[in-house]
Amino acid sequence: MESRGVPPGPYRATKLWNEVTTSFRAGMPLRKHRQHFKKYGNCFTAGEAVDWLYDLLRNNSNFGPEVTRQQTIQLLRKFLKNHVIEDIKGRWGSENVDDNNQLFRFPATSPLKTPPRRHPELQRNNIENFSKDKDSIFKLRNLSRRTPKKHGLHLSQEKAEKIKHKIINEDQENAADNRELSQEDVEEVWKCVILIYLQTILGVPSLEEVINPKQVIPQYIMYNMANTSKHGVVILQNKSDDLPHWVLSAMKCLANWPRSNDMNNPTYVGFERDVFRTIADYFLDLPEPLLTFEYYELFVNILGLLQPHLERVAINALQLCCLLLPPPNRRKLQLLMRMISRMSQNVDMPKLHDAMGTRSLMIHTFSRCVLCCAEEVDLDELLAGRLVSFLMDHHQEILQVPSYLQTAVEKHLDYLKKGHVSIVSLKILCSSQLQVANSSHSSLIKKGDFFSSRKQPLKVRNVDRIWDSNSCMTLSIPPSLISVLILCLTVAPSHDEECG
């Protein structure tokens, strides 16, 4: 059974839970069963439920074909705990379910989960300085040469190009008035640029439902971009934040098995299993997942992109999101992904588990230390496993520094150094591009295919409200944001350049 598609937005894990439980209740075959010389109608065995649910999950793009039967049993236990199912005597609330002939049935109604109210800090009024009026104009990056031509588009692009050259000429005339940029200016540009790119790639009307912009720390982004080894791994200045030496040695041992430069001591039968347990214990004891609790919603939303025809989009989105991480977290994630990817592909690696292959063991062991919610979410393990599987396969691209982002920021800073752009030119330019966006993108999101429109400009609402004032200061748009806006509309790289 294919996924119907859960659109991006807050509490996507809860929406996925509701989708799976609804599909299970609607599709699970019911029949008569005999137990202890008594017949029971409209029920099913645990084994039958596991079979059906296992097939459902493996064919659902949100979870994928690497879902294991054991994970399916775990989910069925969550169903019993949450009264999605009950035993034939009406008992529920425990997790006493195994892959056997125990009989279960559906209750009269299976409760759907209600998304909790958002924390006050994540409410709209706390991020109004970044969103509100400005949100609707930070959505136009996709007007590149790859945009399909539609009626009126070519003419508007020509008009925008003329305005762009006029603005550039004005800037060149004022080159003598170049001003010094403060550190705050630079940080603000980095933050705004990455959020613009991220919103466009995800194809959402606003990021405020999946990430609080106040959580985005530009110093982390700048550090992760600038401080890397020749292999692209973050180099930490403060070594106390790094992995302990014994963990690094153990990871190097397994990543390079059977060749290791760091551990020359004689080994014994089961040595590699003990080394693996040592590494696993360290990561499982970390106080929070490597992707952090605060970015849980963001990464869960990206799971909707993990489909074959959206693979490149998913890589781009994860590449940007991983730049938001604290440098120690990003470094740990890089080294962990390199290790488990090499181990999974190493035909010489001894069997580390009696019942699981190496790849399945890597995903099962490390998924929750990569992604999980601060509050228990019943689909955590499945969602995290799906993400870790994709990270393993594409970690080299996802965890490399995107050169296009550096180029975009440098261009934005260059515009900012050359002085303020006149509000008249800005209004004309944006009005032109807004018309293009509204005429060439009739629908933001189609049910079941909500990312298919990402190559089109996003539709902008409340255009008149944005330009009611003759002064940008009334709109609380700082000069750095004006610079960001203009360049996102006129000099953003094409899709091909981003992916190169």
Range with top average pLDDT, 56-65, 139-148, 345-354, 479-488:
345-354
Q: Which pLDDT value is given to residue 431?
A: 32
Exposed/middle/buried for residue 100 (C-beta within 10 Å: 0-12, 13-18, 19+): exposed
Please name the residues in contact with 190: beta carbons below 8 A apart, sequence gap of 6 or more.
218, 221, 222, 409
Handedness of CA 171, 173, 177, 178 (dihedral sign): positive
What are phi and psi for residue 102, nearest 5 degrees? -60, 140
Report DSSP state, residue 429.
H
The yes-or-no verdict on residue 475 having pLDDT over 70 is no
Q: How far apart are CA 258 and CA 4, in angstroms?
A: 45
**ω before 258 within 30° of 0 (cis)?**
yes
Report DSSP state, residue 122.
G
Rounded percentage of the chain residues whose pLDDT exceeds 90 = 41
When pLDDT is cut at 50, 70 and 90, the band that residue 268 belongs to is confident
Q: How far apart are CA 190 and CA 86, in angstroms?
A: 52
What are phi and psi for residue 42, nearest 5 degrees? 50, 50
- Residues 432, 163 contacting (CB under 8 angstroms): yes
The radius of gyration computed from the CA coordinates of the chain, to the nearest angstrom, equals: 26
The yes-or-no verdict on residue 11 having pLDDT over 80 is no
Q: What sections of 235-379 are H helices per DSSP? A: 245-255, 271-284, 296-302, 311-323, 327-345, 358-370
When pLDDT is cut at 50, 70 and 90, the band that residue 418 belongs to is confident
Domain ranges of the chain: 12-105, 128-194+404-499, 229-400
Ranges 47-56, 67-76, 79-88, 484-493: which has the least confidence? 484-493
Exposed/middle/buried for residue 471 (C-beta within 10 Å: 0-12, 13-18, 19+): exposed
When pLDDT is cut at 50, 70 and 90, the band that residue 8 belongs to is low
When pLDDT is cut at 50, 70 and 90, the band that residue 457 belongs to is very low
Question: Comparing C-alpha atoms, which of 57, 3, 70, 73 is closest to residue 360?
Answer: 70
Q: How far apart are CA 290 and CA 336, in angstroms?
A: 10
Pairing label, strands 38-45, 31-35: antiparallel
E-only strand ranges, 102-245: 103-105
Ranges 34-43, 264-273, 283-292, 340-349: which has the least confidence? 264-273
The yes-or-no verdict on residue 70 having pLDDT over 60 is yes
Mean model confidence pLDDT for the chain: 74
The yes-or-no verdict on residue 353 having pLDDT over 70 is yes
Task: Give 39's strand partners.
Answer: 34
Q: What is the mean pLDDT of residues 263-277?
A: 80
The yes-or-no verdict on residue 150 having pLDDT over 50 is no
The yes-or-no verdict on residue 364 having pLDDT over 50 is yes
Own/partner contacts of 52-59, CB < 8 Å, gap of 24 or more, are 52/24, 52/27, 52/28, 53/24, 53/28, 55/1, 56/1, 56/20, 56/23, 56/24, 56/27, 57/20, 57/382, 59/1, 59/2
Q: How far apart are CA 411 and CA 405, in angstroms?
A: 10
Q: How far apart are CA 247 and CA 320, in angstroms?
A: 27
pLDDT tens digits, one per residue of 292-314: 999 998 999 888 888 888 899 99
Task: List strands edge to edge, sheet with 86-87.
Answer: 31-35, 38-45, 103-105, 86-87
The yes-or-no verdict on residue 394 having pLDDT over 80 is yes
What topology does CATH give the domain 12-105?
Arc Repressor Mutant, subunit A (1.10.10)
Q: How far apart are CA 49 and CA 213, in angstroms?
A: 42
When pLDDT is cut at 50, 70 and 90, the band that residue 456 belongs to is very low
Q: Which pLDDT value is given to residue 307?
A: 81
The yes-or-no verdict on residue 126 having pLDDT over 80 is no
When pLDDT is cut at 50, 70 and 90, the band that residue 493 belongs to is very low
* Predicted TM-score of the model (pTM): 0.69
**Tokens linked to 487:** 């360049």
Q: How far apart are CA 427 and CA 433, in angstroms?
A: 10
Local structure of 428: helix, strand or coil: helix
The yes-or-no verdict on residue 160 having pLDDT over 70 is no
DSSP string, 204-229: -S-STTT--GGG--HHHHHHHHHSB-
Q: What is the mean pLDDT of residues 310-334?
A: 95
Q: How far apart are CA 207 and CA 213, in angstroms?
A: 8
Local structure of 33: helix, strand or coil: strand
Pairing label, strands 31-35, 86-87: unpaired
Pairing label, strands 86-87, 103-105: antiparallel
Number of other CB atoms surrounding residue 232 within 10 Å: 11
Range with top average pLDDT, 14-18, 124-128, 150-154, 232-236:
232-236
CATH class of 229-400: mainly alpha
What are phi and psi for residue 93, nearest 5 degrees? 105, -20
